Copies of this chain bind each other. A is one copy, B any other.
Amino acid sequence: MYKSIEEHITKHVSPTAKELYQFTSFLKEITIDKGQFLVEPGQIVKHKYFVIKGGLKAYYIDPKGNKHIIQFAVENWWVGDFDAYYNNVPSKLHIEVLEDSELLSIDYDSLQKIYDDMPIFERYYRILVTNSTIAQRKRILSSLEKNTQERYLEFCEAYANIENRVPNYDIANYLGVSPENLSRVRKQLKKLNIS
């Protein structure tokens, strides 16, 4: 059960076997079905989640009623509303389960205790969140620099395993374009590939 999270951790830092055991002993196993919500707006968020199996999407619905996908999460990703989790403010996000999923959760208080007792895990999260910042910077640059076609190709490359698991309108949404526009871009790409 804990194999994938242990691998993920040891890919980034080197805790002792005992530390690793202590860490995983705080985790709770969760199974949740497609269509369910892990987080909904207004909720106080006490957990974040590691995906063992399945897929989810995190999105925000703005005051105009438009939906904006912030993140997809599949195997070996952490997902949650980090703003709500760390700053103890009500969530503004929906986190929806796209496929029946198995997750591990860790609650805020346990994580604080882990940070206090075993700084190696503070390092683990520092590294993860640093990587996440770098990835988000790339997303910002990408939206400034590239047109829809380029961004779509980049997405397919970066999330090869996700591309066929989520509907196109969700991909369009993630890219910040209309489904119609993405459809046209895909059509153009098909032409190019065939000829």
* Interface set of A (CB-CB < 8 Å, partner B): 60, 62, 64, 66, 68, 70, 82-83, 86-87, 115, 119, 122-123, 125-127, 129-130, 132-134, 136-137, 139-141, 143-145, 176
Given A122-B126, A126-B122, A126-B125 in contact, is the A68-B133 Cβ separation under 8 Å? no
Rounded to whole angstroms, the CA-CA distance of A190 and B176 in the bound complex is: 30
- Contact, CB under 8 Å: B144 / A68: yes
Considering residues A66, A130, A145, which has the most beta carbons from chain B within 10 angstroms of its beta carbon? A130
Find chain B residues with CB under 8 A from A145 CB. 60, 62, 64, 66, 68
Find chain B residues with CB under 8 A from A82 CB. 130, 133-134
| Residue of B whose beta carbon sits closest to that of A84 | B134
Copy count, this protein chain: 2
Find chain B residues with CB under 8 A from A83 CB. 134, 137
Given A126-B129, A129-B126, A136-B136 in contact, is the A144-B86 Cβ separation under 8 Å? no
Rounded to whole angstroms, the CA-CA distance of A86 and B141 in the bound complex is: 19
Considering residues A68, A83, A126, which has the most beta carbons from chain B within 10 angstroms of its beta carbon? A126
| Residue of B whose beta carbon sits closest to that of A86 | B130
Rounded to whole angstroms, the CA-CA distance of A64 and B70 in the bound complex is: 27
Identify which of B62, B66, B129, B176 contacts A133 (C-beta below 8 A): B129
- Contact, CB under 8 Å: B66 / A141: no
Rounded to whole angstroms, the CA-CA distance of A66 and B66 in the bound complex is: 30
Rounded to whole angstroms, the CA-CA distance of A123 and B137 in the bound complex is: 22
Question: What distance in Å separates the Cβ of A132 from its nearest Cβ neighbour in chain B?
Answer: 5
Question: What distance in Å separates the Cβ of A100 from its nearest Cβ neighbour in chain B?
Answer: 27
| Residue of B whose beta carbon sits closest to that of A138 | B83
